[in-house]
Amino acid sequence: MLARVIALAVALSALSARAADPEIKLEKYRLQNGLTVILSQDRRLPQVSVNVWYHVGAANQTPGRSGFAHLFEHLMFASTKHAKDPDQIWESIGGSNLNGSTNFDRTNYYETVPASELPTAMWLESERMGFILPTLDEEKLRIQRDVVSNERRQRYENSPYGLAFIRTCDLLYPLPHPYYDCVIGDISEIQAASLQDVRQFLLQYYGPNNASIALVGDFDPAAARSLIDKYFGPIPRGPDVPKPTVKQPLLTSVLREKVEDKLAQLPRFEFVWNGLRQYDDEEAPATSSPTCSPAAAPPASTARWCWRSRWRATSTPPTAPSGSADGFPSARPPGRVAPPRSCKRSSRPPSTR
């Protein structure tokens, strides 16, 4: 009994003595063409994680073009002018955790490579940014239109609670708000995307001045800066990208709606409310855990929404699908169903252009 009391006292003291937040040292700068660079050295493992963010998502879509940002994410895994089979290249250098995701306000591409293969990773990501336009054709667009359309069917229309998720977007963001139909979009509008639409989208949003690249891992900062200058520096700056001016509609009264779902085995309640804009200073105060606030969100395209789910049953609720459909993390808290994202396979390039 005394041992239990001592153990409890030790546990409580450990909780009260909250560890300080880890200090992450980083270097941040910008190239002349506008590309934002973030470097954080970590020598614990002989590998480097690369993450490239393009500041474009569903918020940048125009009416009649729902799902377009996500469709373009798929197209960006195609061959480039100098890398005919990027997947094979990534695979040959031991690349892992290779994928991309699209959210309401951004699209990113990421991978982890052995430290010795950082030059190849920089070459491939610069190919994606600056040399994919010449290779886009009608056949590649047709294939990815069908892939994304099938993803909607598989992850939403044929998945328990999937249509309820999309309906939540529609209730919170009625037309003409670009968040309508969530990130996945409407199949008819996805299928209507033309090659000219795709090319214009790339030229507008995929310039270095609308992107950020982050490297974390085992690298020499001077060598990393040299590689980034070599491969990304020559890519010309794109046009300025104005921030979306669409105001977020706020809930002014309680809305109740019932969504019939033949695939759901248990009835489920969802409680949804407007939350703070993502990354808002008040989103995660230093003295508490990050939570969604029921306060009204600022009138900005990056405002988000929060929800809780509850099942009418005593048994364990169904497990959420793995992965991330709209750029959400794949690991979800219990009771929150996440539509998974599609997976792209990994791959491989020549060591020089």
Active-site positions read: 73
What tokens were used for 302?
A: 């990056």
What burial class does residue 141 get, using C-beta atoms within 10 Å of its C-beta: 0-12 exposed, 13-18 middle, 19+ buried? buried
Tokens 């377009």, residue located:
68
What tokens were used for 309?
A: 């789910």
Q: Count of residues for the chain?
A: 353
Tokens 């940002």, residue located:
69
Strands 47-54 and 211-217: antiparallel
What tokens were used for 263?
A: 């695939």
In contact, 58 and 178? CB cutoff 8 Å: yes
| Helix segments in the chain, DSSP class H | 2-16, 68-75, 86-92, 118-130, 138-152, 162-172, 187-191, 195-205, 221-232
